[in-house]
């Protein structure tokens, strides 16, 4: 178990202010998105459903934070790579040591791994911080990392998410406290992922999130 470290030029050029926002949140102990450290119930249900269909059981946790989902996947028998650009979050995650769990300090635009390394990717709260013009780059990364028939488990802001200032953003995005938030519809997720993924589920939940399960097109059972 350990940390590798790499940050892409795209990230360093366009996401520095966003990095600062999250860094300050972790430093102040105000990373509210980590909850009580328990894994998402949606993730638990989905893994139970797809686990029997997996061969590798290799998972990439994109935006792994303090490790709540990485640790859960490790306990479920997966080999897990947690990808996170906040060093303090990784250090906190490292205090919960588990075999088969590695953390990489880096970002979604530059992952120094072989293609087809994973059969599960999870993104709980990263995609909605990716600018529209960078979404294609992000999507290409997802496709390259997954084996054909591999799964993406996603949770992102919906248009019904009530922002910290109490407003709803019908235009679909806002720049708030130096970071970018995007609010999506089911139709937009279909448009973004439908070309390369089989869409197995997109569900809007009362908390203002869209939960999705997508399978990379190619060989593999649905």
Q: Convert the pLDDT of each residue in 10-35 to its tens digit.
A: 566 667 777 777 777 777 777 766 76
Asked if the model's pLDDT at residue 5 lies above 60, the reply is no
CA atoms within 13 A on the CB side of 169: 18
Q: Where are the domains of the chain?
A: 3-28+39-80+102-216
Rounded Cα gap, residues 215 and 71, in angstroms: 23
Average pLDDT over residues 72-92: 90
The answer to whether residues 203 and 212 touch, using CB atoms and an 8 Å cutoff, is yes
Strand partners for 210: 156, 204
Q: What is the 3-state secondary structure (H, E, C) of the chain?
A: CCEEECCCHHHHHHCHHHHHHHHHHHHCCCCHHHCCCCCCHHHHHHHHHHHHHCCCCEEEEECCCCCHHHHHHHHCCCEEEEEECCHHHHHHHHCCCCCCEEEEECCCCCCCCCCCCEEEEEEECCHHHCCHHHHHHHHHHHHHHEEEEEEEEEEEEECCCCCCCCCCCCCCEEEECCEEEECECHHHHHHHHCCCEEEEEEEEECCCEEEEEEEECCCCCC
Greater confidence (178 vs 205) lies with 205
With cut-offs at 50, 70 and 90, classify the pLDDT of residue 168: low
| Whether CATH 3.40.50.150 fits 3-28+39-80+102-216 | yes
Arithmetic mean of pLDDT, 131-140: 88
């Amino acid at each position: 178990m350990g940390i590798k470290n790499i940050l892409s030029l795209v990230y360093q050029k366009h996401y520095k202010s966003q990095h600062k926002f999250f860094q300050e949140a972790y430093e102040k102990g105000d990373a509210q998105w980590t909850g009580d450290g328990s894994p998402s119930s949606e993730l638990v249900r989905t893994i139970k459903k797809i686990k029997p269909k997996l061969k590798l059981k290799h998972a990439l946790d994109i935006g792994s934070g303090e490790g709540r989902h990485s640790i859960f996947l490790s306990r479920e028998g997966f080999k897990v790579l947690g990808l996170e650009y906040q060093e303090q979050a990784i250090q906190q995650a490292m205090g919960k040591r588990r075999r088969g769990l590695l953390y990489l300090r880096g970002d979604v635009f530059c992952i120094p791994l072989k293609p087809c390394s994973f059969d599960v990717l999870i993104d709980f709260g990263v995609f909605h911080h990716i600018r529209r013009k960078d979404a294609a780059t992000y999507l290409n990364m997802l496709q390259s990392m997954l084996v054909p028939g591999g799964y993406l488990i996603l949770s992102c802001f919906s248009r019904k998410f009530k922002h910290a200032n109490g407003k709803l953003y019908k235009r679909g995005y806002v720049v708030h406290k130096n970071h970018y938030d995007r609010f999506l519809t089911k139709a937009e997720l279909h448009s973004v992922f439908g070309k390369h993924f089989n869409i197995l589920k997109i569900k809007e939940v009362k908390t203002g999130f869209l939960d999705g399960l997508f399978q990379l097109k190619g060989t593999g059972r649905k």
